[in-house]
Amino acid sequence: MTIYDISEKAGVSIATVSRVLNGSNNVSEKTKRKVLDVMQQYGYTPNAFARGLGLNTMKTIGLMCADSSDLYMAKAIYFVERLLRANGYDSILCCSGYDLDNMKKSMNVLISKKVDAIILIGSTYISEKDEDNKYITDAALQVPVMMLNGSLNAPNVYGILSDDYTAVYEATLYLIDSGVKDILYFHNSRSFSTKRKMAGFRAAMESRGLFRNDFLQYFQGSHEDIPAMAKHLSKLTKQGLNFNGIIAANDTLAMGAIKYARTARLKMPEDISVIGYDNSLLTSTCEPELTSIDNKLESLCGHLIQTLMDVLNGIDSPGETVFATELVKRGTTK
């Protein structure tokens, strides 16, 4: 028995069941009685986020990320934990890695800890196969599931994400309009976010008749191995692939592109232009400084936690919220 089952049997929404569990005043006594009767009939024991019935909440949120050494995820964890503490919540972090079985195990660990909700940090948790997302939708039948930079159309799942498609589409057109025509999209992930970025790149290049399949370049090595990223690009030039622009899926890959340019004695932005993504601290660690897309991570995290607090208090919230990005222009582009 889950809150989804209760909502069906009581003939009310999941949000209404959540309001009853949290003791919200925005539910009529008749509706509240109906929900409580169903719970009693089926012997349902509310989990820890049911504060309103006089049960003690754990006041703890489960966090999942694939790799806390990743700059984006590490910064997101910092923002999320700080905001949770400000709202009176503790957190439990599971670093699941990228393997589906380990993701499922991490989710089960957090559910077993009776957390009030689960936050999935990063878009790697979204799969194109519905069956691979079932562990998320199943968890959402027990607790709210929040997704940072991911989205899944399912009850009790809430996605807060950047408009990655438009961000890269516009950045690509910006390079083209500055005179850069042969542009690579350089990535190291098959995630939901990366695919949206790639789609934006492809659409922009196709709109100007410039797209080629070999402009999509995947780096398979470690996300920390910047020299290997540079070597990958050097290998492409030796194989005869000419390019004078690189849009990287993240700032670390962009640093690999800058290292490649230095090794090849290419001037930036005269000979080659580079755009990163995330607008991280890396943007100011090179010369010239890196042009990068600001994904508004702090704003995303703030909105995610506010949405979570609303959900836990039985307030209706949208299943998806999309934030606009900003291209921060620096010395690696004209």
Q: Which residues contact 30 (CB under 8 A, 6 or more apart)?
A: none
**Which one, of 278, 99, 109, lies nearest residue 187 by Cα?**
278
pLDDT in tens, 29-82: 888 888 888 887 877 755 544 443 444 467 999 999 999 999 999 999 999 999
State the angle between helix axes of 29-41 and 3-10 in degrees (0 to 180), rounded to the nearest 10. Answer: 120
pLDDT in tens, 301-324: 999 999 999 999 888 899 999 999
The answer, yes or no, to whether residue 225 has pLDDT greater than 50, is yes
Vertex 45: Cα angle to 42 and 49 (nearest 5): 135
pLDDT on residue 55: 45
Mean pLDDT of 214-235: 97
pLDDT in tens, 285-307: 999 999 999 999 999 999 999 99
Interatomic CA distance for residues 136 and 126, integer angstroms: 9
pLDDT on residue 45: 59
Domains in the chain with CATH codes = 1-57 (1.10.260.40), 59-162+297-326 (3.40.50.2300), 164-294 (3.40.50.2300)
pLDDT on residue 186: 98
Percent over 70 (pLDDT), the chain = 94
In the structure, what pLDDT confidence band is assigned to residue 1 with cuts at 50, 70 and 90? low
Interatomic CA distance for residues 221 and 135, integer angstroms: 28
pLDDT on residue 47: 52
pLDDT on residue 301: 98
Q: Distances from the Cα of 104 to the Cαs of 4, 110, 111, 127, in angstroms?
A: 20, 10, 11, 13
Interatomic CA distance for residues 235 and 229, integer angstroms: 10
pLDDT in tens, 128-148: 899 999 999 999 988 999 999
